[in-house]
Amino acid sequence: MPEHPIEGLMKTAMESIKEMVDVNTVVGDPVETPDGTVIIPVSRVACGFAAGGGEFEVPGEGKEGQTEGQMPAFGGGSGGGVSVKPIGFLVVGNGQVRMLPVDGNALADRIIDLAPQLLTQIQSMLKREDYPPGTSVHVSTQTPPSAAPPAP
């Protein structure tokens, strides 16, 4: 059975999309900096595709006017779209692998990344020799009674 014209439309559109989008579109080519750090761009790719068509009888001929095996007139179209949005960079260097997001909503990630450094600095401040020997320092996250809201 001969190929239907819609198959040709779909095949052409899909091949074009396949040429535009490959694995290097999502995870880009790595770039190495002079200090040996490797930076890899990461993107989000979204694809959309649509195809359609219809068969039409030739006016005045109808099905009786067509010879056996002859396909009716066909009209169709196809289209597609690709959206590529950068989401961040994967940074590999100094024995660490970090994801640096592009958007500004990464405050929580940044706080989590910096938490160990913050705790180290707090501990070093508390170990200073500003306190007389034998003085113990207790850090509490509870609200002191004087700052607590009044009871109902």
Mean pLDDT over each residue of the chain, to the nearest integer:
75
Residues of the chain with pLDDT > 90, as a percent, come to 3
79-105 pLDDT tens trace: 778 888 888 889 998 888 988 888 765
pLDDT confidence of residue 38: 92
In a domain, residue 24? The reply is yes
Structural domain including 98 reads 5-102
The 3-state secondary structure of the chain, one letter per residue:
CCCCHHHHHHHHHHHHHHHHCCHHHHECCCEECCCCCEEEEEEEEEEEEEEEEEEECCCCCCHHHCCCCCCCEEEEEEEEEEEEEEEEEEEEECCEEEEEECCCCCHHHHHHHHHHHHHHHHHHHHCCCCCCCCCCCCCCCCCCHHHCCCCC
What pLDDT score does 14 carry?
79
Residue 146 forms part of a structural domain: no
What is the pTM assigned to this prediction?
Answer: 0.45
Domain assignment of residue 60, yes or no: yes
Number of compact structural domains in the chain? 1
Asked whether residue 127 is domain-assigned, the answer is no
pLDDT at residue 108 greater than cutoff 70: no
Whether residue 55 is contained in a domain is answered as yes
* Structural domain includes residue 122: no
Confirm whether 74 is domain-assigned: yes
Q: Is residue 95 part of a domain?
A: yes
